[in-house]
Amino acid sequence: MKARRIIIFDTTLRDGEQCPGASMNLREKLEVARQLARLRVDVIEAGFPVISDGDFQAVQAVAREVRGPTIAGLARCVAKDIDAAAAAVKPAGRRGRIHVFLATSKIHREFKLGKAQDEILRLAVEGVRRARSYIEDVEFSPEDGSRTEPEFLVQVCRAVVAAGATTVNIPDTVGWAMPDQFGELIQRLHDEVPEFSSGSAVISVHCHNDLGLAVANSLAAVRHGARQVECTVNGIGERAGNAALEEIAMALKTRKDFFAACACGINTREIVKSSRLVSRMSSLLVQRNKAVVGENAFAHASGIHQDGVLKKRECYEIMNPVSVGWGKSQLPLTKHSGHAALAARLKHLGFRLSDSDVDAIFKRFKEIGDKKKFVYDDDLTALVGGHITEVPETWSLDYLHVTSGNQTVPTATVRLKRLQGKKPPELLQEAGIGDGPVDAALKAIDRLTQTRGRLLEYTLRAVSQGKDALGEVSVKVKFADRDLVPGKGASTDVIEASARAYLNAVNRYLFCGQSKRAHSAQP
């Protein structure tokens, strides 16, 4: 029997990026989108074009530059949303998709929208028709579908398919569904909407993880006729997140006996690389015990388990770690490696960088190479991530010296280079004391930059192996008039990495303030 093709709809750049602290700039989104194409997802939902100029530009850039997957833009059933989405995905041509949504559940109708069922039907149909006037590939989502009365949900699905929707997505928006119940709902829609059973329209699901059931609900839906699954890399997303792409893909591949009639086109060997890139770009670390991509996913501590794996790997591993991209790093570079070797290695790792980008990364590569024997692939990926994350610098770190100990007051001397507003760049130096060397360095940076940030989140992880491993610091900083501002920095010295991460956040804050002032000054 021919396998039923399951369409993988990735919403990392839209729903995934909506979770607090996960915002990405344009270059970061493009790198993630290119990696998603290498992962061979079928659809990339690149953003919500109407909500900001930045989101519009990101969707447009992904539609223009990324080849292979369908590129979707999200829109409410509102004319201006649909028009913006159509304009943003236009560069993708026939690979473009407009994804419109409208809440249908009783609680949303009564308390959020204040509209009756007939009005919801009318608006849904009008939204689909307007989207269809721009493009052939139109998806409709009845928001909070899992809590919508099944009879009304059938009505909505029939109406939007008749209006031209080629895909109807059933969202478990608040993670309320149970697998058996959700599977039965999808089966009912499959049976009662002729276009779903005939294959002329695709039934899709989009599950949230509020009760930890997003993957289970998605797979139950697949068993009952769903042909598309909406998910994110690492399961990132609103609140507790979305269904994890890597878990969906590997469940379909590993349990072919259970999902005998289903298959997806994911290139599973790109899974770990995708996970790490999304983690770095979003500043959301992957928990060690995360299925498939966590550091402990294929680790065996128990003597009994180790013995079993040595005798036959399948005793305690249902997946081959190599099949998802785990394995030893390639031969590392050293400080003696040249510009061409670095450029070739970065290209092999999948990064598309300009000559000026490689030049900038080569400078940092040499600095790191002077401090450690080998520079591994993970080190290079961290350097690229830090470079992509950078915004136009107002300040750069020129010098850092700290003294600390259990019998001395932690003190930091920081020298920064002011790069904007002064020609030639001006060097300014300041000292600070604090509860520790990191606190002292950040206080000195505050004085020099005349900003006052409150450090609310701080994470440090070793990027690669060995005592001289590169340390990558991710921070979230609260400034007076802004939401949390992310920052990232990497160095073999964790104090320096911390200062670089904090300064990265300061530069983001200052750059965003300049952009807002410039935007408000426009006529």
Order of strands, edge to edge, in the sheet holding 454-462? 454-462, 471-478, 484-491
DSSP 8-class letter at 492? S
Whether 206 and 182 have beta carbons less than 8 Å apart is answered as no
Q: What pLDDT sits at residue 301?
A: 59
Residue 186 main-chain phi, psi, to 5 deg? -65, -40
Partners of 454 in the β-ladder: 478
For the chain, the 3-state helix, strand and coil shares in percent, each to the nearest 5, are: 45, 20, 30
A 10 A CB-CB count for 240 gives 14
Q: Which of 104, 132, 139 is nearest to 119 (CA)?
A: 104
DSSP secondary structure, 153-214, as one string: HHHHHHHHHHHT-SEEEEEETTS---HHHHHHHHHHHHHHSHHHHHTSSEEEEEEB-TTS-H
Please give the mean pLDDT across all residues of the chain: 91
Q: What pLDDT sits at residue 331?
A: 58
Beta-sheet strands, E only, within 260-394: 262-263
Pairing assessment for the beta strands 202-207 and 167-172 based on DSSP bridges: parallel
Indicate the SS3 state at residue 451.
Answer: coil
Euclidean distance between CA atoms 393 and 366, whole angstroms:
21
Q: What pLDDT sits at residue 221?
A: 98
Whether 26 and 58 have beta carbons less than 8 Å apart is answered as yes
Indicate the SS3 state at residue 335.
Answer: coil
For tokens 């491993």, the residue is 469
pLDDT in tens, 266-304: 999 999 999 999 998 888 889 989 999 998 888 775 667
Whether 242 and 9 have beta carbons less than 8 Å apart is answered as no
Euclidean distance between CA atoms 256 and 253, whole angstroms:
6
DSSP secondary structure, 363-412, as one string: HHHHHHHTTSS-B-HHHHHHHHHHHHH--S-SEEEEEEEEEEETTEEEEE
Tell which phi-psi region holds residue 376, choosing left (phi > 0), alpha (psi between -120 and 50) or beta. beta
Residues in CB range of 494: below 8 A, 6 or more apart: 460, 471, 473
Task: Render the burial of 173-194: b for 16+ CB within 10 Å, e for the rest.
Answer: bbbbbebeebbebbbbbbebbe
The type of residue at 297 is A
For tokens 């959301």, the residue is 284
Token pair in block for residue 271: 């899974």
Q: What pLDDT sits at residue 521?
A: 39
Residues of the chain with confidence (pLDDT) below 50: 517-523
How many residues appear in the chain?
Answer: 523
Token pair in block for residue 1: 């029997």
Euclidean distance between CA atoms 34 and 30, whole angstroms:
6
**Global confidence as pTM:** 0.82
Indicate the SS3 state at residue 297.
Answer: coil
Q: What pLDDT sits at residue 154?
A: 98
